[in-house]
Amino acid sequence: MGEEKIPKLGSLFVSESAHAFLTTTVYSSEPSEDSPFTAIVEAFRFAFALGYSNGLKIKSKGTTKTVAPRQFTVTEYLDILESDIDSEYSSLGGLASAYAEAGVELMIDWVDSGKSILSLLDN
């Protein structure tokens, strides 16, 4: 019998520019169409889901910022991520981060086209 290999956990991160954008989507006092999230990790989770659902991954370039893994425990996503683990993305955190980075790019393009973050849910 073969030994089952458990992927490395890794950490969650996005590029500095992606982190800066995610920060703008977090509201300080009242939620809005463009700032619907209460924390960076919520915005990261949304970006991850967007990247994953579109099958898009982007490796973060340059300096990165860590995303605190509270409320986004990568092992909870093992079932959907483990088949994508390969030499390029060797940890669950790195793979989730690549999906989130792609999701942020989609969010930025969406906002740059004049649409709100919340309207992505209608798409």
Q: Angle at Cα 65 formed by Cα 64 and Cα 69, nearest 5°?
A: 130
- Mean per-residue pLDDT of the chain: 90
Provide the domain count of the chain.
Answer: 1
Q: In this structure, is residue 55 part of a structural domain?
A: yes
39: which DSSP letter?
S
The domain in which residue 85 lies consists of: 13-115
Q: Which residue has the higher pLDDT, 123 or 77?
A: 77
In a domain, 122, yes or no: no
**Rounded CA gap, 61 and 41, in Å?**
20
Q: Is residue 123, in this structure, part of any structural domain at all?
A: no
Asked whether residue 109 is domain-assigned, the answer is yes
Q: Tens digits of per-residue pLDDT, 42-101?
A: 999 999 999 999 999 999 989 999 998 777 888 899 889 988 888 788 899 999 999 999
The pTM assigned to this predicted structure is 0.91
Residue 3 is assigned to a structural domain of this protein: no
